[in-house]
């Protein structure tokens, strides 16, 4: 079966090379998010079931009972604060 004459595969333009840094930035955000989730999950949940790690930083996080939650909760708190301030600023500008 032949393809209709009006349909053809899209050609790559010269602007595709400008999208490459955006793709790398997206991959970096995903990798850092997964890494943060794994380290945070280890420090808060899985460290109870696994023997102490040989890494000094992870060992300090595991043995701490209070401040290991601070880093995990600062990110959503900061995000909420930034969004609430942005919404407030939009209300202020549009009144």
pLDDT tens digits, one per residue of 46-68? 777 777 767 787 777 777 777 77
Exposed, middle or buried: residue 3 (CB in 10 Å: 0-12, 13-18, 19+)? exposed
Q: For residue 47, how many other CB atoms are within 10 A of its CB?
A: 18
Of the pLDDT bands very low, low, confident and very high (cuts 50, 70, 90), residue 83 is very high
CA-CA-CA-CA dihedral for 79, 83, 86, 88, to nearest 10: -130
Q: Is the dihedral of CA 34, 36, 39, 42 positive or negative?
A: negative
CA-CA-CA-CA dihedral for 35, 37, 40, 45, to nearest 10: -130
pTM over cut 0.85: no
pLDDT tens digits, one per residue of 10-35? 555 555 566 678 888 889 999 998 99
């Amino acid at each position: 079966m032949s393809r209709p004459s009006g349909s053809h595969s899209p050609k790559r333009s010269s602007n595709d090379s400008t999208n490459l840094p955006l793709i790398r930035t997206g991959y970096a955000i995903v990798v850092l998010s997964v890494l943060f989730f794994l380290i945070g999950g280890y420090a808060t949940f899985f460290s109870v079931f696994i023997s102490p790690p040989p890494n000094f930083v992870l060992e300090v996080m595991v043995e701490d009972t209070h401040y290991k939650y601070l880093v995990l909760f600062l990110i959503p708190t900061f995000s909420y604060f930034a969004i609430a301030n942005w919404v407030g600023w939009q209300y202020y500008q549009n009144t």
